[in-house]
Amino acid sequence: MTAGVPYTEPARPLGGTTFLFAVTCGVAVSSIYLPQALLPLIATDLRTGTAGAGLVVTLTQLGYATGIALLCPLGDLVRPRRLLPTLLWGMAICLVGATVAPTLLILATAATLVGLFAVLPQLLVPLVARLAPTGQAAHAVGALTTGLVGGIFGGRILSSLIAELTGWRGAYLTVAASAVVLAVLLRPWLPAESAASDSMARNPAAAYVRLMASLPGLIRRQPVLRQACLFQFCGFALFSAVWTTLVLHLTGPWFGWSTATAGLFGLVGLVAGSAGPVIGRVVDRHGYRGVTTGALSIIAAAIGILTLAGGALIGLVVGMFSLSLGLQATQIVQQTRVLADRPDARSRVNTLFMTTVFLGGSFGSAVGITVFTHHGWLGVCGFGAAMLAMMLAVEGYARRLAKQTVPSSPASKAAS
């Protein structure tokens, strides 16, 4: 490597590497959603109320957001072969700590650290975009998105089944064992070099400070990043509002389902998530704008179905499937755009993007529950329509801006 010149990993066929990365993403993100599926069991075992056990959910998400902000920029500095297995080992140790936690306080502390270490998906996505051959980045990102969706929805289903047999501690221990296996399997498939220059590698502490200080400047100088952050903030707010309140809708007086039965609705999201690689291929072949138009159309149709037929099971199935499919497509498009716009700073760009996305999710969950309490399912659908209107406004502005400026990057060229 020449001093001051960033190392560029040669593009290569990914094959089984992408599959292993996707599985790792799924296991990591499942650890974030474990408390949500196991909340009643945790409350009973630790003799605390639902609100007390809910603190575990909140702190796990807070730990994850902190990890994105503080650890993900290291992806531009530290060798992946060193960084990613270390995070898996840390996650596994904290999951074991949660497994043996005798009190709510200890469990909450361990869960916060689990979230902190579970940021592997936000490091693997920019890494796979860097490793992918030309024209295949969106396909690779789509494959990892499928792993993420599998972890979110499949993890809930599997953890509930395991907990039925072994209790909630058995579910935590199973994920911990999976993390250990992946820490061993993943290492040989990771690049031995980082994307950092020699000067950064010689003084990593100072380089990290510079990386963190550079984050506000990236937002100021990158209009594509600003547009994508605002667009997907609204998209994930919509996703979280609807999926968070769905269980309240299903267990309410209209349907009267049990919590366990309502949890099986995650299968709908799991099926929609399997379309990630296909969406990625379409993005690679046809560009961002056409896919975005199609995705927004599907989301609009989904909101209409959920509004008009949300009281019928078939309406919920079709509506939630369409909503998940459309929002997954927008996630793949926007994430691929921002990673292509600044290939020299992919981890930092992804840090900003995903931090914004999860802030949108937190906002959507909080507003969704409040709206459902006062206005029911139709109120949530109305909030979803408002978020869709914001997405349409951002996309319209981005297209007008693209027509007024000369493309200066692969992302802007493909967008026009």
Domains and CATH numbers, the chain: 10-213 (1.20.1250.20), 214-406 (1.20.1250.20)
Mean pLDDT over residues 193-211, rounded? 67
DSSP readout, 155-184?
A: HHHHHHHHHHHH-HHHHHHHHHHHHHHHHH
Among 129-138, 247-256, 286-295, where is mean pLDDT lowest? 129-138
Is the whole-model pTM more than 0.85? no
Q: Cα–Cα distance between 365 and 236 in angstroms, integer?
A: 10
Report, in angstroms and rounded to the nearest whole number, the Rg of the chain calculated over CA atoms: 21
Q: Cα–Cα distance between 387 and 394 in angstroms, integer?
A: 11
Q: Cα–Cα distance between 409 and 240 in angstroms, integer?
A: 32
Helical pair 137-149 and 313-341, crossing angle rounded to 10 deg: 140
- Residue 8 contacts by C-beta under 8 Å, 6 or more apart in sequence? 130, 195
Reported as a single tens digit per residue, the pLDDT across 383-415 is 999 999 999 999 999 888 877 765 444 444 444
Q: What six digits make up the tokens of 298?
A: 């599907």
Q: Cα–Cα distance between 391 and 384 in angstroms, integer?
A: 11
Reported as a single tens digit per residue, the pLDDT across 9-41 is 444 445 578 889 999 999 999 998 787 777 778
Q: Cα–Cα distance between 273 and 354 in angstroms, integer?
A: 18
Q: Please classify residue 142 by burial: count the beta carbons closer than 10 Å to its beta carbon, then call 0-12 exposed, 13-18 middle and 19+ buried.
A: buried
Mean pLDDT over residues 361-371, rounded? 81
What's the pLDDT band for 127 if we cut at 50, 70, 90?
Answer: confident
Please tell me which of 123-127, 159-163, 223-227 the model is most confident about, judged by mean pLDDT. Answer: 223-227
Reported as a single tens digit per residue, the pLDDT across 164-188 is 788 889 999 999 999 999 999 999 8
Q: Cα–Cα distance between 322 and 25 in angstroms, integer?
A: 23
Q: Cα–Cα distance between 46 and 49 in angstroms, integer?
A: 9
Residues 130/21, Cβ–Cβ less than 8 Å: no
- Residue 23 contacts by C-beta under 8 Å, 6 or more apart in sequence? 147, 182
Cα–Cα separations (whole angstroms), residue 201 to 7, 43, 248: 11, 47, 51
pLDDT for 411 equals 45
Higher pLDDT, 156 or 93: 93
